[in-house]
């Protein structure tokens, strides 16, 4: 059984399970991820009737996303890993967006987009081949009008970054701006990697930031580029 954590957006979620059987707790967190995450994990483990050392591994949403949330999720996962000697797997939050939508309606071609603030979005394109997601366009942070979108039909859009792509909405077969990466999706995506021996020690686990800029310049703020 695996524990999965995601704190990459304004929602904090944790999940416990394996294969297609998962128990998930989620909560609107705002900026309270550090305060909420450990109590949520404790409650989930209690509900699942399992102790931390009995787990096979811990997965976390590695990014891209909120810099603070990513650091919190990675840090909590590292701490739990060290205490229980468990391997870690970091999962792309954009792939988790695609998986969350697939679990909802079976979508197999997904443009995943998350709000990156500063007038930009995180975006990637995935296609499911029946057994796993294949990355068609790698995660990037871009101005919305520069997003590399598929030209063929049958693609669904997912994620809160879609608000910035509304002008091209008619190009999508489905539009799901309410989708956020879920801990269940993080867990589902991590299990094949754990089983393939790809789990790493706490010291080797890192967030995926995509962008190193964390603030607009004064000139950009004055030009109205904040959001």
Residue 42 has pLDDT above 90, yes or no: yes
Enter the tokens of residue 70.
């990513």
Which residue from 122, 103, 34 is spatially nearest to 112, judged by alpha carbons? 122
Q: Which of 90, 165, 89, 81 is nearest to 123 (CA)?
A: 165
Q: What is the pLDDT of residue 68?
A: 95
- What pLDDT, on the 0 to 100 scale, is given for residue 117? 92
89-127 as b/e: b if 16+ CB within 10 A: bbbbbbbbbbbbbbeeeebbbbbbbbbbbbebbbbbbbe
Query: Does residue 211 carry a pLDDT above 80?
Result: no
- Which CATH number is 94-176's, of 1.10.760.10, 3.30.460.40, 3.30.420.40, 3.20.20.150? 3.30.420.40
- So what's the pLDDT on residue 210? 86
What percent of the chain is modeled with pLDDT above 70?
93
Mean pLDDT (whole number) for 48-65:
98
Residue 218's pLDDT band, with cuts at 50, 70 and 90, is very low
| Identical fold, 2-92+181-211 and 94-176 | yes
Q: How confident is the model at residue 173 (pLDDT cuts 50, 70, 90)?
A: very high
CATH topology of domain 2-92+181-211: Nucleotidyltransferase; domain 5 (3.30.420)
What is the value of pTM for the model shown?
0.91
Angle, CA 110 vertex, CA 28 and CA 102 arms, to 5°: 65
| pLDDT above 80: residue 73 | yes
User: Do residues 150 and 111 make contact, with C-beta atoms less than 8 angstroms apart?
Assistant: yes
Please give the backbone phi and psi of residue 163, each rounded to the nearest 5 degrees, phi first.
-55, -30
């Amino acid at each position: 059984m695996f524990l999965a954590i995601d704190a990459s957006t304004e929602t904090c979620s944790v999940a416990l399970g394996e294969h297609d059987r998962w128990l998930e707790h989620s909560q609107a967190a705002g900026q309270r991820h550090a305060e909420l995450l450990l109590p949520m994990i404790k409650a989930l483990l209690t509900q699942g009737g399992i102790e931390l050392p009995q787990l096979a591994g811990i997965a976390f949403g590695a990014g891209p996303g909120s810099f603070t949330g990513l650091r919190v999720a990675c840090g909590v996962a590292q701490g739990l890993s060290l205490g229980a000697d468990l391997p870690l797997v970091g999962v792309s939050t954009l792939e988790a967006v695609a998986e969350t939508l697939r679990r909802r309606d079976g979508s197999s071609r997904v443009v995943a987009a998350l709000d990156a603030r500063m007038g930009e979005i995180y975006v990637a394109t995935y296609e499911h081949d029946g057994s796993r997601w294949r990355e068609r366009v790698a995660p990037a942070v871009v101005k919305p009008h520069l997003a590399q979108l598929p030209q063929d039909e049958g693609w669904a859009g997912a994620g809160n970054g879609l608000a910035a792509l509304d002008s091209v909405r008619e190009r999508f077969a489905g539009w799901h701006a309410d989708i956020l990466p879920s801990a269940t999706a993080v867990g589902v995506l991590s299990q094949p990697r754990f089983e393939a021996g790809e789990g790493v020690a706490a010291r080797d686990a890192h967030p995926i930031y995509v962008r190193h800029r964390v603030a607009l310049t004064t000139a950009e703020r004055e030009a109205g580029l904040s959001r």
